[in-house]
Protein backbone atom coordinates (compact mmCIF):
# COMPACT_ATOMS: atom_id res chain seq x y z
CA UNK A 1 0.00 0.00 0.00
CA UNK A 2 1.29 3.46 -0.88
CA UNK A 3 1.41 6.01 1.87
CA UNK A 4 1.09 9.77 1.47
CA UNK A 5 4.11 11.72 2.62
CA UNK A 6 2.97 15.08 3.95
CA UNK A 7 5.19 18.14 3.96
CA UNK A 8 4.64 21.82 4.73
CA UNK A 9 7.01 24.54 3.50
CA UNK A 10 7.24 27.88 5.25
CA UNK A 11 7.62 31.24 3.59
CA UNK A 12 11.07 31.99 2.26
CA UNK A 13 13.03 33.65 5.06
CA UNK A 14 14.95 35.80 2.58
CA UNK A 15 11.70 37.44 1.47
CA UNK A 16 11.20 38.89 4.94
CA UNK A 17 14.37 40.95 4.54
CA UNK A 18 13.02 42.70 1.46
CA UNK A 19 10.40 45.39 1.15
CA UNK A 20 7.15 43.65 0.32
CA UNK A 21 3.56 44.77 -0.12
CA UNK A 22 1.60 45.54 3.04
CA UNK A 23 0.44 42.45 4.87
CA UNK A 24 -2.04 42.32 7.73
CA UNK A 25 -0.25 40.80 10.71
CA UNK A 26 -1.82 38.14 12.86
CA UNK A 27 -3.40 39.62 15.98
CA UNK A 28 -3.22 38.13 19.45
CA UNK A 29 -5.84 35.45 20.03
CA UNK A 30 -6.61 34.89 16.34
CA UNK A 31 -6.61 31.46 14.71
CA UNK A 32 -3.26 30.20 13.52
CA UNK A 33 -4.52 30.10 9.93
CA UNK A 34 -6.77 33.16 9.58
CA UNK A 35 -8.93 35.90 11.03
CA UNK A 36 -12.69 36.36 11.13
CA UNK A 37 -14.05 38.49 8.29
CA UNK A 38 -16.37 41.25 9.49
CA UNK A 39 -17.61 42.93 6.29
CA UNK A 40 -19.94 40.14 5.13
CA UNK A 41 -23.61 40.58 4.12
CA UNK A 42 -26.09 39.13 6.59
CA UNK A 43 -27.39 36.48 4.19
CA UNK A 44 -23.88 35.20 3.55
CA UNK A 45 -23.30 34.96 7.30
CA UNK A 46 -26.37 32.75 7.42
CA UNK A 47 -25.15 30.30 4.76
CA UNK A 48 -22.98 28.14 7.09
CA UNK A 49 -26.13 27.53 9.16
CA UNK A 50 -28.13 26.51 6.07
CA UNK A 51 -25.40 24.53 4.29
CA UNK A 52 -23.57 22.68 7.04
CA UNK A 53 -20.92 20.80 5.03
CA UNK A 54 -18.37 21.91 2.47
CA UNK A 55 -19.23 19.21 -0.05
CA UNK A 56 -22.94 20.12 0.10
CA UNK A 57 -22.02 23.78 -0.58
CA UNK A 58 -20.12 23.10 -3.77
CA UNK A 59 -20.27 25.09 -7.00
CA UNK A 60 -18.65 23.81 -10.21
CA UNK A 61 -17.01 25.82 -12.98
CA UNK A 62 -15.15 24.72 -16.08
CA UNK A 63 -13.35 26.53 -18.88
CA UNK A 64 -10.91 25.99 -21.72
CA UNK A 65 -8.23 28.67 -21.92
CA UNK A 66 -5.94 29.80 -24.71
CA UNK A 67 -2.43 29.58 -23.25
CA UNK A 68 -0.48 30.29 -26.43
CA UNK A 69 1.08 33.37 -24.81
CA UNK A 70 2.03 31.30 -21.76
CA UNK A 71 3.89 28.77 -23.94
CA UNK A 72 5.86 31.57 -25.62
CA UNK A 73 6.44 33.30 -22.28
CA UNK A 74 7.90 30.19 -20.61
CA UNK A 75 10.08 29.45 -23.64
CA UNK A 76 11.48 32.97 -23.40
CA UNK A 77 11.96 32.77 -19.63
CA UNK A 78 13.82 29.48 -19.91
CA UNK A 79 16.03 30.78 -22.68
CA UNK A 80 16.89 33.82 -20.55
CA UNK A 81 17.52 31.58 -17.55
CA UNK A 82 19.84 29.35 -19.59
CA UNK A 83 21.82 32.32 -20.92
CA UNK A 84 22.07 33.87 -17.47
CA UNK A 85 23.38 30.65 -15.91
CA UNK A 86 25.88 30.11 -18.70
CA UNK A 87 27.16 33.65 -18.23
CA UNK A 88 27.45 33.25 -14.45
CA UNK A 89 29.25 29.93 -14.81
CA UNK A 90 31.77 31.51 -17.15
CA UNK A 91 32.31 34.29 -14.63
CA UNK A 92 32.51 31.65 -11.87
CA UNK A 93 29.76 33.39 -9.91
CA UNK A 94 27.81 30.19 -9.21
CA UNK A 95 28.58 26.56 -8.59
CA UNK A 96 26.98 23.73 -10.53
CA UNK A 97 24.34 23.24 -7.83
CA UNK A 98 23.88 26.68 -6.32
CA UNK A 99 21.45 26.46 -3.33
CA UNK A 100 20.70 30.20 -3.59
CA UNK A 101 19.40 29.78 -7.13
CA UNK A 102 17.27 26.61 -7.09
CA UNK A 103 15.34 27.27 -10.32
CA UNK A 104 16.59 24.89 -13.00
CA UNK A 105 13.72 25.48 -15.39
CA UNK A 106 10.36 27.25 -15.40
CA UNK A 107 7.48 24.85 -16.04
CA UNK A 108 3.70 24.82 -16.32
CA UNK A 109 3.23 23.67 -12.73
CA UNK A 110 5.13 26.67 -11.36
CA UNK A 111 3.33 29.03 -13.71
CA UNK A 112 -0.18 27.80 -12.88
CA UNK A 113 0.48 27.90 -9.14
CA UNK A 114 1.94 31.41 -9.47
CA UNK A 115 -1.16 32.40 -11.43
CA UNK A 116 -3.50 31.08 -8.73
CA UNK A 117 -1.47 32.88 -6.05
CA UNK A 118 -1.86 36.11 -8.04
CA UNK A 119 -5.61 35.62 -8.55
CA UNK A 120 -6.11 34.88 -4.84
CA UNK A 121 -4.08 37.99 -3.96
CA UNK A 122 -6.15 40.25 -6.22
CA UNK A 123 -9.45 38.53 -5.37
CA UNK A 124 -9.10 37.83 -1.62
CA UNK A 125 -12.61 36.43 -1.10
CA UNK A 126 -11.30 33.25 -2.75
CA UNK A 127 -8.84 32.88 0.14
CA UNK A 128 -11.61 32.55 2.73
CA UNK A 129 -12.73 29.42 4.54
CA UNK A 130 -15.53 28.31 6.83
CA UNK A 131 -14.79 26.95 10.30
CA UNK A 132 -17.63 26.30 12.70
CA UNK A 133 -20.29 28.77 11.58
CA UNK A 134 -17.92 31.64 10.80
CA UNK A 135 -16.08 32.82 7.67
CA UNK A 136 -12.36 33.53 7.91
CA UNK A 137 -9.62 35.02 5.73
CA UNK A 138 -6.23 33.30 5.65
CA UNK A 139 -3.11 35.02 6.89
CA UNK A 140 -1.16 33.77 3.84
CA UNK A 141 -1.90 32.07 0.56
CA UNK A 142 -1.24 28.35 1.03
CA UNK A 143 -1.39 25.97 -1.91
CA UNK A 144 -1.60 22.19 -1.57
CA UNK A 145 -0.43 20.00 -4.44
CA UNK A 146 0.41 16.37 -5.15
CA UNK A 147 3.92 15.22 -6.00
CA UNK A 148 4.39 11.83 -7.62
CA UNK A 149 7.77 10.46 -6.55
CA UNK A 150 7.95 8.28 -9.64
CA UNK A 151 5.57 7.88 -12.57
CA UNK A 152 4.39 4.33 -12.00
CA UNK A 153 1.38 2.59 -10.46
CA UNK A 154 3.47 1.80 -7.38
CA UNK A 155 5.06 5.26 -7.13
CA UNK A 156 4.45 6.98 -3.79
CA UNK A 157 2.57 10.27 -3.63
CA UNK A 158 3.28 13.26 -1.43
CA UNK A 159 0.75 15.96 -0.64
CA UNK A 160 2.67 19.13 0.06
CA UNK A 161 1.61 22.60 1.20
CA UNK A 162 3.63 25.69 0.31
CA UNK A 163 2.89 29.15 1.68
CA UNK A 164 3.34 32.31 -0.40
CA UNK A 165 3.29 36.03 0.23
CA UNK A 166 0.40 37.75 -1.51
CA UNK A 167 2.64 39.92 -3.69
CA UNK A 168 4.69 36.98 -5.05
CA UNK A 169 5.80 36.86 -8.67
CA UNK A 170 6.69 33.79 -10.74
CA UNK A 171 10.30 33.76 -9.57
CA UNK A 172 9.24 33.89 -5.89
CA UNK A 173 6.89 30.96 -6.40
CA UNK A 174 9.43 28.92 -8.37
CA UNK A 175 12.10 29.44 -5.70
CA UNK A 176 9.77 27.90 -3.11
CA UNK A 177 8.40 25.09 -5.28
CA UNK A 178 11.67 23.89 -6.83
CA UNK A 179 13.45 22.82 -3.61
CA UNK A 180 10.17 21.61 -2.08
CA UNK A 181 9.45 19.22 -4.95
CA UNK A 182 13.07 18.13 -5.27
CA UNK A 183 13.22 17.47 -1.52
CA UNK A 184 10.11 15.29 -1.58
CA UNK A 185 11.36 13.22 -4.49
CA UNK A 186 14.79 12.61 -3.00
CA UNK A 187 14.14 12.41 0.75
CA UNK A 188 14.52 9.07 2.53
CA UNK A 189 13.51 10.08 6.06
CA UNK A 190 9.87 11.15 6.16
CA UNK A 191 8.62 11.79 9.69
CA UNK A 192 5.16 12.84 8.55
CA UNK A 193 4.69 9.77 6.38
CA UNK A 194 5.90 7.60 9.24
CA UNK A 195 3.31 9.28 11.49
CA UNK A 196 0.49 8.24 9.15
CA UNK A 197 1.88 4.74 8.86
CA UNK A 198 1.98 4.46 12.65
CA UNK A 199 -1.50 5.99 13.01
CA UNK A 200 -3.05 3.39 10.72
CA UNK A 201 -1.62 0.56 12.84
CA UNK A 202 -3.88 1.52 15.75
CA UNK A 203 -7.34 0.02 16.23
CA UNK A 204 -10.10 1.89 14.39
CA UNK A 205 -11.49 3.56 17.51
CA UNK A 206 -8.06 5.00 18.41
CA UNK A 207 -7.53 6.35 14.88
CA UNK A 208 -11.02 7.85 14.92
CA UNK A 209 -10.29 9.55 18.24
CA UNK A 210 -7.04 11.07 16.96
CA UNK A 211 -8.79 12.36 13.82
CA UNK A 212 -11.50 13.82 16.08
CA UNK A 213 -8.82 15.68 18.02
CA UNK A 214 -7.40 17.12 14.78
CA UNK A 215 -10.91 18.19 13.72
CA UNK A 216 -11.41 19.85 17.11
CA UNK A 217 -8.19 21.84 16.64
CA UNK A 218 -9.47 22.99 13.24
CA UNK A 219 -12.73 24.15 14.79
CA UNK A 220 -11.10 26.21 17.56
CA UNK A 221 -8.25 27.44 15.35
CA UNK A 222 -5.41 26.60 17.72
CA UNK A 223 -3.11 23.63 17.29
CA UNK A 224 0.46 22.56 18.10
CA UNK A 225 2.80 23.27 15.18
CA UNK A 226 3.82 19.61 14.97
CA UNK A 227 0.22 18.52 14.37
CA UNK A 228 -0.47 21.28 11.84
CA UNK A 229 2.24 19.82 9.60
CA UNK A 230 0.48 16.46 9.63
CA UNK A 231 -2.78 17.82 8.20
CA UNK A 232 -2.70 18.82 4.51
CA UNK A 233 -6.38 19.71 4.36
CA UNK A 234 -5.62 23.24 5.62
CA UNK A 235 -4.94 25.27 2.49
CA UNK A 236 -6.26 28.10 0.33
CA UNK A 237 -6.60 25.78 -2.65
CA UNK A 238 -5.71 22.26 -3.67
CA UNK A 239 -4.26 22.11 -7.18
CA UNK A 240 -4.01 18.87 -9.12
CA UNK A 241 -2.00 19.35 -12.31
CA UNK A 242 -3.11 16.23 -14.16
CA UNK A 243 -1.38 17.52 -17.27
CA UNK A 244 1.87 16.31 -15.70
CA UNK A 245 0.68 12.71 -16.26
CA UNK A 246 -0.60 13.45 -19.76
CA UNK A 247 -4.34 13.84 -19.02
CA UNK A 248 -6.02 16.41 -21.26
CA UNK A 249 -9.69 16.19 -20.28
CA UNK A 250 -9.65 16.48 -16.51
CA UNK A 251 -12.45 15.55 -14.09
CA UNK A 252 -13.88 17.62 -11.28
CA UNK A 253 -12.63 16.88 -7.79
CA UNK A 254 -14.89 17.07 -4.76
CA UNK A 255 -14.14 19.28 -1.76
CA UNK A 256 -13.27 17.64 1.55
CA UNK A 257 -15.70 18.19 4.42
CA UNK A 258 -12.90 18.12 6.96
CA UNK A 259 -10.21 20.75 6.91
CA UNK A 260 -10.50 24.29 5.56
CA UNK A 261 -9.74 24.01 1.81
CA UNK A 262 -12.41 25.98 -0.09
CA UNK A 263 -11.18 25.59 -3.68
CA UNK A 264 -10.07 22.54 -5.68
CA UNK A 265 -8.61 23.08 -9.14
CA UNK A 266 -7.77 20.39 -11.70
CA UNK A 267 -5.62 21.34 -14.70
CA UNK A 268 -5.17 19.35 -17.88
CA UNK A 269 -2.29 18.93 -20.31
CA UNK A 270 -1.51 21.85 -22.61
CA UNK A 271 -2.71 20.67 -26.00
CA UNK A 272 -3.18 21.89 -29.55
CA UNK A 273 -6.67 22.82 -30.66
CA UNK A 274 -8.51 25.03 -33.14
CA UNK A 275 -10.43 28.11 -32.04
CA UNK A 276 -12.61 30.46 -34.12
CA UNK A 277 -11.12 33.90 -34.91
CA UNK A 278 -11.85 36.70 -37.38
CA UNK A 279 -9.41 35.01 -39.74
CA UNK A 280 -11.18 31.65 -39.39
CA UNK A 281 -10.17 28.58 -37.38
CA UNK A 282 -6.68 29.01 -35.93
CA UNK A 283 -4.58 26.43 -34.07
CA UNK A 284 -3.78 27.47 -30.50
CA UNK A 285 -2.31 26.03 -27.31
CA UNK A 286 -5.22 25.21 -25.00
CA UNK A 287 -5.70 23.92 -21.49
CA UNK A 288 -8.81 22.68 -19.67
CA UNK A 289 -9.49 23.68 -16.07
CA UNK A 290 -12.21 22.60 -13.68
CA UNK A 291 -12.88 24.42 -10.41
CA UNK A 292 -14.79 23.22 -7.37
CA UNK A 293 -15.56 25.93 -4.80
CA UNK A 294 -17.34 26.30 -1.47
CA UNK A 295 -20.02 28.85 -2.34
CA UNK A 296 -20.31 29.97 1.29
CA UNK A 297 -17.06 31.98 1.04
CA UNK A 298 -18.34 34.27 -1.73
CA UNK A 299 -20.98 34.44 -4.46
CA UNK A 300 -20.85 33.13 -8.00
CA UNK A 301 -20.61 36.62 -9.51
CA UNK A 302 -17.38 37.24 -7.58
CA UNK A 303 -15.91 33.98 -8.87
CA UNK A 304 -16.85 34.78 -12.48
CA UNK A 305 -15.08 38.15 -12.18
CA UNK A 306 -12.12 36.32 -10.66
CA UNK A 307 -12.00 34.04 -13.70
CA UNK A 308 -11.69 37.20 -15.81
CA UNK A 309 -8.56 38.05 -13.81
CA UNK A 310 -7.26 34.52 -14.44
CA UNK A 311 -7.84 34.85 -18.18
CA UNK A 312 -6.12 38.25 -18.24
CA UNK A 313 -2.98 36.73 -16.69
CA UNK A 314 -3.02 33.83 -19.17
CA UNK A 315 -3.24 36.34 -22.01
CA UNK A 316 -0.58 38.59 -20.46
CA UNK A 317 1.74 36.24 -18.53
CA UNK A 318 4.48 38.88 -18.27
CA UNK A 319 2.42 40.40 -15.46
CA UNK A 320 3.90 37.67 -13.26
CA UNK A 321 7.40 39.10 -13.77
CA UNK A 322 6.74 41.81 -11.19
CA UNK A 323 5.60 41.63 -7.60
CA UNK A 324 2.38 43.36 -6.68
CA UNK A 325 3.02 46.74 -5.09
CA UNK A 326 -0.33 46.71 -3.28
CA UNK A 327 -2.75 43.93 -2.37
CA UNK A 328 -6.37 44.33 -1.24
CA UNK A 329 -7.07 43.46 2.41
CA UNK A 330 -10.19 41.48 3.22
CA UNK A 331 -11.70 42.89 6.38
| Per-residue pLDDT at 101 exceeds 60 | yes
- Residues 248-277 have a mean pLDDT of 94
- Residues 177-205 have a mean pLDDT of 73
Enumerate domains of the chain plus CATH numbers. 5-22+35-321 (3.30.559.10)
- Residues 71-97 have a mean pLDDT of 81
3-state SS, the chain, equals CCCCEEEEECCCHHHHHCCCCCCCCCCCCCCCCEEECCCCCHHHHHHHHHCCCCHHHEEEEEEEEECHHHHHHHHHHHHHHHHHHHHHHHCCCCCCCCCCCCCCCCCHHHHHHHHHHHHHHHCHHHHEEEECCEEEEECCEEEEEEEECCCCCCCCEEEEEEEECCCCCHHHHHHHHHHHHHHHHHCCCCHHHHHHHHHCCCCHHHHHHHHHHHHHHHHHCCCCHHHHCCCCCCCCEEEEEHHHHCCCCCCCCCCCCCCCCCEEEEECCCEEEEEEECCEEEEEEEEEEEEEEECCCCCHHHHHHHHHHHHHHHHCHHHHHCCCCCCCCCC
CB neighbours of residue 122 within 10 Å: 17
**pLDDT, tens digit, for every residue of 268-306?**
999 999 999 888 999 999 999 999 999 999 988 899 999
User: Percent of the chain scored above 70 by pLDDT?
Assistant: 84
| Per-residue pLDDT at 196 exceeds 50 | yes
| Per-residue pLDDT at 47 exceeds 90 | yes
**pLDDT, tens digit, for every residue of 150-159?**
655 555 677 7
Residue 222 vs residues 10, 66, 68, 118, 137: alpha-carbon distances, Å: 18, 43, 45, 28, 15
More confidently predicted of 52 and 198:
52
| Per-residue pLDDT at 10 exceeds 60 | no
Amino acid sequence: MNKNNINENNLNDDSNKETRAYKRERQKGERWDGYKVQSIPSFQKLLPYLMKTRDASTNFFEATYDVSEVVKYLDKKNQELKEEREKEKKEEKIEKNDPTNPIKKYNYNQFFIATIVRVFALRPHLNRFVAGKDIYQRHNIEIAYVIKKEFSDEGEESITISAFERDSNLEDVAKILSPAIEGVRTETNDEQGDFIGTLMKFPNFVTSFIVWILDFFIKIGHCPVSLRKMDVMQSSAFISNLGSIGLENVPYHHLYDRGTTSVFLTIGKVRKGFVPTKEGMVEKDLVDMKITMDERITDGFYLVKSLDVLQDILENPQKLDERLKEVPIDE
